[in-house]
Structure 1
Amino acid sequence: MNLTRTAFGTWNGGRFMHFGEQLDETQFLDLIRHSYEQGIRTFVSSDVYGAGRADSMLGEALKDAPRDSYCLVGLLGHDFYGGVRAGAKGYPRFTEPGLREPSDYSSYLKMACEKSLERCQASHFDLVMLHNPDVTGYTSETVWDGLRELKQLGLTQRLGLAPGPANGFTLDIIDCFEKFGADIDWAMLILNPFEPWPGTLALPAAKKHDIDVIARVVDYGGIFHDDVKPGHHFRDGDHRTYRGPDWIEHGCEKLEKLRPIAEKHGLTMLQLASFWDLAQDSVKSVVPTLVQEAYEGAKPINDKVAELAGLPETNPLTPEDIAFINSIGDNTGCMKLKGASERHIGTDPRPDEWAIRDELLAVAGRWNLGNSWAW
């Protein structure tokens, strides 16, 4: 089964990532089941969330659902089996020097995939995505040999790329599409009406290489759920506190400018954001973050599931609507981006940032992205 227009991620509900009110185990299982009952049919999990616990809970929640009634997406890439967690930075990538030699990449991926499937109570994934790769993951033929082997073994039907965790990696993504596009069925990109940059820069390359895109952070940190308002207080540790000052106020100001479009078409603000994403070239699925905000009177998370599941069949947004949304949401150059950058000095790459290479500047030239890449 291929991915459907709407998807559920096991990072929802703050259970395995810090945002909003953390659902307890029973609430989280109920949330997954409620999403399935509402009609969501794509479920995305990463093996590293909760060091396997997210997989196990997804498998438990869906154990009575026919396997051919939903699409199962697994993300692999962080080694929590042999790696040591580095605080908030999380577990290292399996390609980190010191953990294993390149000759062992394939055996690691096979082991990690099989264990993830066992926890999910499934015999195969419909899609396996390389999760938050380092520079080796983007460029190594050996890594992609290991991913191809998963497909050959029947452990997955499709392969994909899921960059992150922060925004950026644009040149790395396009370069990866050019190198391994024949193997890549899906890519997961941060994309929403208030963060079109830099995600949209990779869309022409995705289209050229026949790669479908699943958009994440569709909700823009909860702004499009319409219950994060000016003065909103985040709990300690909420991962949205990394955003710049006044982003809520500015986001809400822009949201009000878009509200007449949503009302004209009978859409919620989340549905408006989802349809904007789905109107972009190659975007075929949306996986917003579903948050139970931690204040009395906040919108219930099950209502957010219903909004996503109830996305109308036909996209009502007109070209004029899209152009207006684009004029409001343009965020070009608003942040420092991760991945290859002229800002990075030195030869030793960090897990999420590394030096630019001449071949990536050539990529930028081929795709009319400028001669300088210092974001």
Structure 2
Amino acid sequence: MRYRPLGSSDLTVSTIALGSWLTYSGGVEKSRSIACVREALDQGITLIDTANVYGRGASESLLGEALAGVPRDSYVLATKLYFPMSDTDRGLSRAQVFKQIDASLARLRTDHIDLYQCHRYDADTPLEETMEALTEVVRQGKARWIGFSEWPADRIRAALALPGVTKFVSSQPQYSLLWREPEREVIPLCAANGIAQIVWSPLAQGVLTGKYPPGAVPPKDSRAADPAMGAYLRREWLSRSTLEAVQRLRALAEANGCTAAQLALAWVLRQPNVAAAIVGATRPEQVAANARAADLDLPSAVIEEAGRIVQPPSPWSPSVLLNRIRRKLRV
């Protein structure tokens, strides 16, 4: 495993992080979930990412149990708030920041969060109120550093311009060979202001593993075949042209002694301003395989070729437009 500093903070994180979005919030049985967490620690993974909304607290509770007895200074714990926890509890108001961090601390069985993140931007709460509340929880010692996920560039600039508040040290965007939107504004802005990227979905919800043969029905045990776990999967990533490109990526990976997933992770980790890539895993062996991507020393030419082979689907392609219409109509 390799380690990198997290932005302008004093945190050092493993380049591969363990995520818990669709897996440890009920998608994977408890014993196997805990086995995955333990395997991550054994592999040298120190950054563990979760959120209060994952399973409405279920993921945090499981991690609290799985990490019980593990020296607290041996891992970096990151969680988030924003999405609804009840009919009335949501957002980034001062009251919610104070309420949700206490609830997360209780579920995680710890006295502090290393990285407390705003899961999305809250347009219903003044930015000043959110930043002042986050600054207060840092002063109280409940959180060491703060970050955000999927904030627009103008709101990041506005937060950075506020005087007397704790500054963000991390950004958590979706970023992969198949999704490169952060490259336009967010990554350059963050790089100029001491904010590092902790990337989510670096394997494009599993599509970049090569598990989906072009033109074939998705495997029964795959995310695409699971109505719950596959609900957030972009269907355009399952188009024949994209899946054929992923098979070419797989061939490139095999020619260089690794898997398609490891090559896709290596590509992300070679991009500027990326501190870590979050991976999910349903089995301990998946954790171990993904962890090995951190140690790959692939030639720059291979990384560049991977970026040429797999390109994000055009926003104007027929498959993308059709899927947008379907999502809008909820078909």
TM-score exceeds 0.5? yes
User: Structure 1 residue 305 and structure 2 residue 287: aligned?
Assistant: yes
1:281 corresponds in structure 2 to 272
Match of 1:189 among 173, 177, 187: 173
Q: Deviations over 1:6-50 (max 9, x none)?
A: 11112253x437xxxx32222222222222222221111111122
Task: Give yes or no for contact 1:224–1:273 (8 Å, CA) kept in 2.
Answer: yes
Task: Give yes or no for contact 1:177–1:209 (8 Å, CA) kept in 2.
Answer: no
Percent of residue pairs bearing the same amino acid type: 21
Match of 1:323 among 271, 280, 304: 304
Task: Give yes or no for contact 1:254–1:329 (8 Å, CA) kept in 2.
Answer: yes
Task: Give yes or no for contact 2:205–2:233 (8 Å, CA) kept in 1.
Answer: no
Larger mean CA deviation between 70-79 and 254-263 belongs to 254-263
Shift of 1:158: 0.9
Structure-2 change in CA distance of 1:248 and 1:65 (3 Å) = farther
1:111 corresponds in structure 2 to 99
Shift of 1:322: 3.5
Structure-2 change in CA distance of 1:64 and 1:184 (3 Å) = same
1:178 corresponds in structure 2 to 157
1:232 corresponds in structure 2 to 218
User: Structure 1 residue 221 and structure 2 residue 205: aligned?
Assistant: yes
In the alignment of these two chains, the number of paired residues is 295
2:329 corresponds in structure 1 to none
Structure-2 change in CA distance of 1:175 and 1:127 (3 Å) = same
1:153 corresponds in structure 2 to 140
Match of 2:90 among 89, 93, 106: 93
1:166 corresponds in structure 2 to none
Within 5 A, what are the aligned runs for 1:37-48? 37-48=42-53
d(CA) in 2 for partners of 1:129, 1:6 = 18
Task: Give yes or no for contact 1:195–1:329 (8 Å, CA) kept in 2.
Answer: no
User: Structure 1 residue 267 and structure 2 residue 250: aligned?
Assistant: no
Structure-2 change in CA distance of 1:74 and 1:280 (3 Å) = same
- Is the partner of 1:27 in helix, strand or coil? helix
d(CA) in 2 for partners of 1:210, 1:241 = 31
d(CA) in 1 for partners of 2:297, 2:56 = 38
> Where does structure 2 lack aligned partners over 5 or more consecutive residues?
1-10, 161-165, 220-224, 318-331
d(CA) in 2 for partners of 1:55, 1:313 = 29
d(CA) in 2 for partners of 1:177, 1:42 = 23
Structure-2 change in CA distance of 1:329 and 1:279 (3 Å) = same
d(CA) in 1 for partners of 2:195, 2:316 = 26
- Aligned-residue RMSD, C-alpha: 2.6
Q: Deviations over 1:335-374 (max 9, x none)?
A: 79xxxxxxxxxxxxxxxxxxxxxxxxxxxxxxxxxxxxxx
d(CA) in 2 for partners of 1:238, 1:115 = 26
- Is the partner of 1:194 in helix, strand or coil? coil
Task: Give yes or no for contact 1:106–1:143 (8 Å, CA) kept in 2.
Answer: yes
Q: Deviations over 1:81-105 (max 9, x none)?
A: 452xxxxxxxx7325xxxxxxxxx2
Task: Give yes or no for contact 1:213–1:282 (8 Å, CA) kept in 2.
Answer: yes
Corresponding letter in the other structure for 1:80: M
1:356 corresponds in structure 2 to none
Task: Give yes or no for contact 1:8–1:287 (8 Å, CA) kept in 2.
Answer: yes
Match of 1:125 among 102, 113, 117: 113
d(CA) in 1 for partners of 2:239, 2:199 = 21
Shift of 1:80: 1.3
Task: Give yes or no for contact 1:129–1:162 (8 Å, CA) kept in 2.
Answer: yes
Q: Deviations over 1:170-201 (max 9, x none)?
A: xx5211221223711000011111222x1222
2:130 corresponds in structure 1 to 143
Shift of 1:132: 2.4
Q: Tell me which stretches of 4 or more aligned residues in structure 1 moved more than 6 Å.
A: none
1:367 corresponds in structure 2 to none
> Where does structure 1 lack aligned partners over 5 or more consecutive residues?
84-91, 96-104, 164-171, 293-300, 337-375
Shift of 1:117: 0.9
Structure-2 change in CA distance of 1:111 and 1:279 (3 Å) = same
Shift of 1:264: 4.0
1:2 corresponds in structure 2 to 12
